[in-house]
Chains A and B, each alone.
Chain A
Amino acid sequence: METFEAFFNSLASPELVIGICTAIFALYMLRMRQMMQPKVAFGIMGLTALFFVVGAQNHDFATILKKGDNMPIVIMTFSVLFFLWLAFRQATLNDMRLERGLPPNEATESGKKVLVWPDLVFPEFIMTVLLSAAFIAWAVMVEAPLEEPASGSRAPNPAKAPWYFLGLQEMLVYFDPWLAGVVLPGMIVVGLMAIPYIDTNPKGNGYYTFKERPFAIGMFMFGFLIMWVLLVIMGTFLRGPNWNFFGPFEYWDPHKVEALVNVNLSEYFWVSMLDTRMPDNPLVRELPGILLVLGYFIVTPAILAVTVLKKFFHELGFARFSVLVMLLLMMGSLPIKMLLRWFFNLKYLVGIPEWFFNI
């Protein structure tokens, strides 16, 4: 038990958790066929369940786990794993059929039409009854949490956003609120809405497949699983007082001290590299960062258009391609900023606190 706890606590840093999960995600995408074997997929689900069951023996972990409002996150963890399997299992089976020149499984039945009464209405009714029973049972067994009366002067520590916004709160570690709380969520919404118009691939419409649209699925799944679901899980179980990172079996010590060693790019540039003092004009001071950010959003699309994404540039045309790349770069900015923070202790690429303009 102690080795179990010590092992998982030793893995507890944002870079290791996100790194390991990204590696597993890459394995899922690249070795889809093997990973979607029922025994592999259910093995992973079983191990996750085992982790929760064994972990619940630990007092600190059990405290977090038993909070009523954290139950949805546990349910989310398992339902996401299960539905990933359900979707990609069907996708791999379809892909094998497509390789043999057969239509996808759905097509064998899609010509067949059935009357919705009873074939759809009855299952809907059964689902309604089952769900009603399940929710009543849940409501009887678990009381809705209620804490002390609201007080504007006594802030709890940690003060957490509702669970479905924990991904945004996690982004606050790497970006200022104007980016993490306004611009990036806005881009998520815009990006979701843009999907049907920038994905012009006519294949994979109305059936599960992976091979016919690996790029679209890979990008969407990375955004959903790593940049959203994983951050929600981390925010729930691993972020404690002062938003410090804690191991799953670690006591949430409010006095845990994290050294603030993060440095702005401008300081790296002027002080460390050029060995001069920082210019007074903020625009001059931050010029290296401003050029980098502008380059990221202006030069990278051009490079991508003639290299790795050449095919997309030709298929999509200038406008759609620009939107696609802009959205990908926006999404990529989070992992990039994470890496810069983890490996170079970089605080801001552009840091102009005078104008609240920090990137």
Chain B
Amino acid sequence: MIAETQIWRSIFRHGYPSTPRNRALAALSNIFLHLHPVKARKSGIRLSFTWCMGGITFFLFLLETITGVLLMFYYRPTIEYAYNDIIALREHVPLGIMRELHRWGAHMMVLAVWLHMLRVFLTGSYKPPREFNWNIGVILLLLTLLLSFTGYLLPWDQLAIWAITVGSNMARAHPLIGHEGPGASLLAVGDVALVTPASDIRFGLLAGRFVGAAALLRFYVLHCVALPLAAGLFMAVHFWRVRKDGGISGPM
């Protein structure tokens, strides 16, 4: 009945997907489903072959996006408010499990990316013609780690600030551009050192010598805007290349 109405037929331009033709159209005429080909190798879509890990990673990215947007309504990235807003999320927001979903999802997304890469490696799916897409995948791995790392700081508790301190201290030792890195003392004009605690790569990352207010804002913007956009861009390329390189891999 509903499927006969003009509204329904303006949205779905094919009949119920019970015939091969309509099933093909279901995949073809839907912008989301047409990420898929109309037909796929039977061996390629078996759960024991793919472990669904790429799909799980994508699911978790969507979960993180949705819960992340909801969290942004309640959270202010300043030293005065950040910690209290996190407490308020727990105490005052009805059904406040968004932070839990966001945190467990983030942990699992890192793991899902690792397992996806393990699967791709063990099935030799990085081999020609998929070399480039493996590289896009490595970039997505980095973006996932950076997303998780920048998000780590936002609750502004002891765990957050010190995990980021430990992590970002590494940047101090970057050769040439970290003030405790080999070769940094070579970059000097006369007696004036160019690479100092107030000008090195760590300073650029944290916008300060310590993890402070500026670092919190910087990580917030990276976490909520810059990195998700970059991840979205590379995911689009990744999915598109899966199709262009012949779909989920299988024996030649």
Contacts and interface: CB of A to CB of B under 8 A. Distances in A.
A116 B36 contact: yes
B161 A161 contact: no
A150 B103 contact: no
B222 interface: no
A159 interface: yes
A181 B173 contact: yes
A162 B36 contact: no
Interface in A192-234: 192-193, 195-197, 199, 201-209, 213, 217, 220, 224
Contact of B159 (A121, A145, A203, A209): A145
A282 interface: no
Nearest to A131: B59
Nearest to B184: A356
Interface in B1-28: 17, 20, 23-24, 26-27
A135 B39 contact: no
A164 interface: yes
Contacts of A177: 169-170, 172-173, 180
A356 B180 contact: yes
Contacts of A199: 126-127
Interface of B is mostly: helix
A165 interface: yes
B97 to A, nearest CB: 4
| 5 closest A-B pairs by CB | A181-B170, A177-B173, A196-B131, A139-B100, A72-B107
Interface of B: 17, 20, 23-24, 26-27, 33, 36-49, 51-52, 55-56, 59, 63, 79, 83, 86-87, 90, 97, 99-105, 107-108, 110-111, 114-115, 117-119, 121-128, 130-131, 134-135, 138, 141-142, 145, 148-149, 152, 155-163, 165-167, 169-175, 178, 180-185, 210-212, 249-252
Interface of A: 68-69, 71-72, 75-76, 79-80, 83, 86-88, 90-91, 103-110, 112-121, 123-124, 127-128, 131-132, 135-136, 138-140, 142-152, 154-156, 159-165, 168-169, 176-178, 180-183, 189, 192-193, 195-197, 199, 201-209, 213, 217, 220, 224, 355-357
